[in-house]
Amino acid sequence: MNAISQDVTAMTDSSAATAESRAAKFMKRRNRIRFYEILVWIAAIAAIFVAPTKLLILTEIAILALFAVSLDLVLGFAGIVSLGHAAFFGLGAYIAGLMALHFIAEPVVGLIAAGLVSGVLGFLTSFLILRGSDLTRLMTTLGIALMMAEVANQMAWLTGGADGLGGFTVGPILGTFEFDLFGRNGYIYCLVVLFLVTMIARRLAFSPFGLSLKAIKGNPMRAGMVGVPARRRIVAVYSLAAVFAGMAGALLTQTTSFVSPDVLAFHRSADLLMVLVIGGTGYLYGGIFGAIIFTLLKDWLSVVTPQYWMFWIGLILVAMVLTGRDRLARWIEFLPDRFSRKEAGR
Amino acid sequence: MLTILFDGIAYGMLLFILACGLTITLGLMNFINLAHGAFAMAGGYITVVMMNRYGISFYWCLPAAFLLTAAIGAILERTLYRWLYQASHLDQVLFSVGIVFMSVAAADYFMGGQQQLINLPPELSGRMEILGVGIGRYRLFTIVVCAVLVVLLQLILSRTRFGSRLRAAVDDRRVAMGLGINVSFVFALTFAFGSGLAGLGGAMGAEILGLDPNFPLKFMIYFLIVVSVGGTSTISGPFLAAMLLGIADVAGKYYVPAIGPFVIYALMIVMLIIRPSGLFARGAGR
Amino acid sequence: MMRGMLLGAASLVMALAGTLPAAAQEVVKIGLILPMTGPFASTGRQVSAGAKTFMEMKGDTVAGKKVELIIRDDAGVADQTRRIAQELVVNESVQVLAGGGLTPLAMAVAPVATQAKVPMVVTSAGTAAITKASEFITRTSGTLPQYSLPVGTWAAQNGIKKVVTLVSDYGPGLDAEKWFTKEFTSKGGEVSEAVRVPLQNPDFAPFLQRVRDAKPDAVFVFLPSGVGSLFMKQFADRGLAEAGIKLIATGDVTDDDILNSMGKPALGTITGHFYATAHDSPENKAYVEAFEKANNGMRPNFMSVGGYDSMALIYAALEKTKGDASGPGFMEAVKGLSWTSPRGPVSIDPETRDIIQNIYMREVKEVDGELHNVEFETFAALKDPEKAEAK
């Protein structure tokens, strides 16, 4: 409302107000729901009825997508390259498993607990990534993840060590919806969580907060000069991303009712980076598209050539970078632009 | 006690040989080449094939591993890598991870998934006692090779014409070109040299570290630790870092085995917090 | 606009849907899920080759049904294993699952087996507790306690007094350490030190130095197979043998697949395990010949025989149920089954569904210019000691 009224009087108002109204307009435009977003969610819901045999892989995609959305907040918005995001994912997975084993089998409680604990770890470690170059951050995050993996292996009395944590059953969701063998309820559960988290992340990313993050990504020093508290913003977004990553880990535990030590493995962080880059960074849905493409591709390749699928994934990566990742990732932007022009006459 | 120190030094030296090629591409050419381990693996496999299939002496395998890997590096540089010098770090990371994946699958296809082993010439295996300190012969050999390498590298980079051309090309590409330096040739040669060093490291490391198709993934982390702790602007930085990590790792595992696996990671994080751009950062670092 | 959206959504969904499974009547489908890529790829390769060799030798029909083997790669990642298992059961109507290259991979499938009432044959993983995870799990490999314990017995009987144990610091390693120590000390031996090596460990120097400094009569070792060979070289290099320290180990260390390339340092190593390529029996001769012919000269190791026997078990059980592969009936048939495997006589314990088999003590020797594990002593028909003790 406010924005619109300002819009009308913008011409005659003082220059400050004009700037404000332009800012409001800009924010509104950024915040507009795009065509492809609706498409994604409709397709995701329709899949329950149309593709009942593919729900398990869709569940995996939803979890990976959630994990990727979490990394996108850090990488795409704040510009922090992390090779250790699995630390939070794994912690969340273990917390959810331990909750189910010792305290309460109901998954939503476990999900929230996992998110909170991971968030605390994210907050504590965020201070380590404030300084340094890309390479330094890469290595610090990687180091943290590797140490977490080693801790999980050493504390076998708690985590089951290399054998993994099993022997628990995850109760029905909210006490009513049982996890079935076809993965239907599991999928719906993951989808709901993914939707909620994406909406929260979206709200945040396209707010002034998100803009200030992009400013930090662009040039931290300049961002500081125009009054953006860079350090505090980074700590906040990193902790939040950790919460989401922990939730993704919890979902994995709850849909598989098992925690294997490889939830903390290096390849998870590396795959994740790949997923995000395939889908494109900095607009949140990149994680979702990337997860869909990456998982289906990998599944298809590993059926066609169980031993050598890695070669083809590698080839695709190389080809992608050589043809220009940006060009490829922007394919999705063409769609909404065309539609949005029609609607809003931008 | 001294034996542990000796082992630590040898291990550190080995890490250095493996990682110093990466220091060159990363530090001098500013290219994050995670596929460095793939070149090391190539060197290792070249040695294994030459020794086990053709019975060529280990001493000939080392230079051969260096030259052949350098040739592979040069070819890849000319065809693929050179398009990415100006690309973002993220692109470079992805590109080189792609190369790693391809090399892992290719090695699996051609050589099989099992551990490859080589048999050293008798004068390099076993150990001897000097003043009560047990010294592994092969480890001593590693130390000698590494020491020669460090001196050579330092001399090449700081004293030769090529070294100064390279540094000029890195500092300002355009000005260097304006001065008549063939920048793309200098880069290609440097990249080949860095890859060759990796190949040499792989050949030397096959004995101690083992060799299987997952080599590039398994040891990528160690290279990166050395380079990031040591900083990328000098040769001596990574050298000292490799020594420090080698000794700390070996000593940590000997004296406090319970926390052994954490030592190297914890050390890295602490170092990175204290000196984010490496042990001996020159100026602001890049 | 609206229509376009719906069309788009529909086409996306169609793309995801893929093909629906075809109903199969006279076919028994077996889903073999293994790590074919990643650090444990050699396990997958050996097991799948073993299973295929069985089918080549014995044909693909049993009790009037055609057997179809579906091999999938899980890259050694547990949640992948679980998803693939679930998909195979739900979409491909697979009736028997097999695989489990590592303990967590087998554990992750256990809930699926229970929920879907599908039998699961573990071909490789060696932690004792796996068969307890589900009523529908049986095993054709062996457990670590099962083949670490006899090594302790043998050591105590052969004049070894003081031992240092050196194991990989994870579940199976700790199992091996525990059962060896237990048996060895109860027979009067002394374990002076227990060294644990982290899984991600490139250099054995500090650990070997510890062993050397402790001056034991022997060192008992368990390490996963690839790492084991590296250890062997460094063991020799450090002159532990000259210092009078014997090397005794589980058979993983002298894995037949790579034993020959280990060279001289491996000679004389004493190991205990359930299968050696050099095992002397007509069944094994036929097996080794067929295996090497089909796999370009690759030697079958203990993993492959786990794969081979998983198929032997499934065939025998189907024979007994007259081709009925439904879970409860199949598992009833499995209990108490016995057959002659390339490794010798084996049977399935009716109570624990775990394998009962001979454990052989072997020494690495040169046979016809190649290194082999040569058996010299047999501990007959051993059960898994952990579950035997729990009773």
Tell me the pLDDT of chain A averaged across its residues: 79
To the nearest whole Å, the CA of B180 is away from the closest chain C CA by: 46
Asked whether residue A138 is domain-assigned, the answer is yes
Contact between chains at C258 and B115 (C-beta distance less than 8 A) = yes
Residue C210 at interface with chain B, using a CB cutoff of 8 Å: yes
Q: Which residue shows structure tokens 């630590």?
A: B8
Kindly list the structural domains of chain C, giving each domain's residue range(s) and its CATH number in brackets, ordered by start.
Answer: 27-142+281-353 (3.40.50.2300), 145-273+359-390 (3.40.50.2300)
How many CB pairs below 8 Å do chains A and B form together? 123
Q: What percent of chain B has pLDDT over 70?
A: 91
Q: Tally C-beta pairs within 8 A across B and C.
A: 103
Q: What is the distance between the alpha carbons of residues A326 and A235, in angstroms, rounded to a whole number?
A: 28
Asked if B95's CB is within 8 angstroms of A317's CB, the reply is yes
* Interchain CB distance below 8 Å, A146 and B272: no
Whether the per-residue pLDDT at A248 is higher than 90: the answer is yes
More confident residue, A92 or B95: A92
Q: Per residue in B182-225, pLDDT tens?
A: 878 888 888 888 888 889 888 888 877 878 888 888 788 788 88
| Complex ipTM value | 0.76
Q: Domain for residue A292, yes or no?
A: no
pLDDT higher than threshold 90 for residue A89: yes
pLDDT at C90 exceeding the cut of 70: yes
Is the CB of C194 inside 8 Å of chain B's CB atoms? no
Is B116 within 8 Å of C261 when comparing Cβ atoms? yes
Domain residue limits at A96: 51-265
pLDDT at position A216 over 70: yes
CB within 8 Å: B100 and A133:
no
Q: Which chain B positions have a beta carbon within 8 Å of C49's beta carbon?
A: none
Half-sphere exposure of residue B176, counting CA atoms within 13 Å on the CB side? Answer: 19
A162 against C57, higher pLDDT: C57
Say if the Cβ atoms of C71 and A306 lie within 8 Å. yes
Terminal C-alpha separation, chain B: 39
Between B136, B252, B253, which is nearest C237 by CB?
B136
Confidence band (pLDDT; 50, 70, 90) for A17? Answer: low
A185 belongs to a structural domain: yes
Chain A residues touching residue B221 (CB < 8 angstroms) = 142, 146, 266
Interface probe, candidates C196, C261, C267, C296, chain B, greatest B C-beta count within 10 A = C261
Least CB–CB distance from C170: residue in A161, A258, A303: A161
Q: How confident is the model at residue A194 (pLDDT cuts 50, 70, 90)?
A: very high
Number of domains in chain A: 1
Q: Which of C8, C1, C12 is nearest to A340 (CA)?
A: C1
Say how far apart CA A339 and CA A38 lie, in whole Å. Answer: 13
* Contact (CB<8Å) A311/B102: yes
**Which of A4-8, C102-106, C169-173, C373-377 shows the lowest per-residue confidence on average (mean pLDDT)?**
A4-8
Contacts of B269 in chain A (CB under 8 A): 128, 140, 143-144, 147
C203 touching B (Cβ < 8 Å): yes
pLDDT band at C20 (very low <50, low <70, confident <90, very high): very low
Instruction: Please state the rounded mean pLDDT for residues A315-322.
Output: 82
Series of mean pLDDT values for 10-residue runs along chain B (286 residues): 80 85 76 85 88 82 88 86 78 84 84 74 72 76 86 83 79 77 82 88 83 80 80 76 84 75 78 69 42
Separation of alpha carbons A331 and A344, rounded Å: 21
Q: Angle at the Cα of C185 (from C184 to C186), degrees rounded to 5?
A: 95
In the prediction, which pLDDT does C391 show?
A: 58
Which chain B residue has its CA at the smallest distance from C298's CA? B112
- pLDDT value at residue B278: 63
Kindly report the nearest CA distance between residue A53 and chain B, in angstroms.
Answer: 30
Chain B residue nearest residue C212, CA to CA:
B134
Q: For B259, which residue in chain C has the nearest alpha carbon?
A: C198
What's the pLDDT at A16?
Answer: 59
Count Cα neighbours of C134 within 13 Å in the Cβ-side half-sphere.
27
Is A302 near chain C, with CB under 8 Å? yes
Residue A317 and residue B221: Cβ atoms within 8 Å? no
Question: Which of A133, A141, A266, A307 should we substitute to test contact with B (largest number of B Cβ atoms within 10 Å)?
Answer: A133
Domain contains A87: yes
Which chains have 3+ CB pairs within 8 A of C?
Answer: A, B
Q: Model confidence over B113-124: pLDDT tens digits?
A: 677 777 777 777
User: How far, CA to CA in Å, does C81 sit from each of A1, A295, C228?
Assistant: 53, 14, 26
Among B219, B222, B253, B265, most C C-beta atoms within 10 A, so best to mutate, is B253
Nearest to A310 among B105, B221, B286 (CB): B105
DSSP string, C216-275: -SEEEEE--HHHHHHHHHHHHHTTTTTTT-EEEEETTTT-HHHHHHH-GGGTT-EEEES-
Least Cα separation, residue C3 to chain B (angstroms): 38
Nearest to B127 among C39, C202, C238 (CB): C238
pLDDT tens for each residue of C237-276: 777 877 888 888 888 888 888 888 777 778 888 888 998 8
As a whole number, mean pLDDT of residues C124-137 equals 84
Q: Is any Cβ of chain A less than 8 angstroms from the Cβ of B270?
A: no
Q: Cβ–Cβ of C75/A302 closer than 8 Å?
A: yes
Q: Is residue A235 part of a domain?
A: yes
Subunits close to B (at least 3 CB pairs below 8 A)? A, C
- Using the Cβ of C298 and the Cβ atoms of chain B, whether some distance falls under 8 Å is answered with yes
Q: In whole angstroms, give the CA distance from residue B21 to residue B65.
A: 14
Is residue A3 very low, low, confident or very high in pLDDT (cuts 50, 70, 90)?
Answer: very low
CB contact at 8 A, C207 and C199: no
Contact B102 A310 (CB under 8 A): yes
Percent of chain B with pLDDT over 90: 0
Does A252 contact chain C (CB < 8 Å)?
yes
Which pTM value belongs to this model?
A: 0.81
The residue of C77, C164, C237 whose CB has the most chain B CBs within 10 angstroms, and thus the best one to mutate to test that interface, is C237
Q: Using 50, 70 and 90 to split pLDDT, how confident is the model at A330? A: low
Half-sphere exposure of B228 (CA within 13 A, CB side): 32
CA distance, residue C153 to nearest chain A CA (Å)? 27
What is the rounded CA–CA span in Å between residue B272 and residue B267?
9
Q: Does residue B168 belong to the interface with chain A, where contact is any CB pair within 8 Å?
A: no
A308 contacts on B by Cβ (under 8 Å): 105, 108-109
Sheet of C137-139: strand order equals C61-62, C65-73, C27-34, C96-99, C120-122, C137-139
Contact B214 C39 (CB under 8 A): yes
Q: Which among A78, A97, A142, A58 is positioned nearest to A246, based on CA atoms?
A: A97
Confidence of residue C236 (pLDDT cuts 50, 70, 90): confident
CA atoms of A7 and A45, how far apart (whole Å): 37
- C13, C86, C103 member nearest A162 (Cβ): C103
Using a CB–CB cutoff of 8 Å, tell me whether C201 touches chain B: yes
Put simply, whether C388 touches B (Cβ < 8 Å) is no
Dihedral sign from CA coordinates of A263, A268, A272, A273:
positive
Distance CA B223, CA B212 (A): 17
A237 Cα to chain B: minimum distance (Å)? 20
Residues C134, C117: Cα–Cα separation, whole Å: 10
Q: Does residue A311 sit within a domain? A: no
Chains that touch A (3 or more CB pairs under 8 A): B, C
Residue A243: its pLDDT value, please?
93
Say if the Cβ atoms of A53 and C111 lie within 8 Å. no
Q: Chain B: residue nearest A320 by CA?
A: B95
Asked whether the beta carbons of A53 and A68 are under 8 A apart, the reply is no
Looking at residue A326, its pLDDT comes to: 59
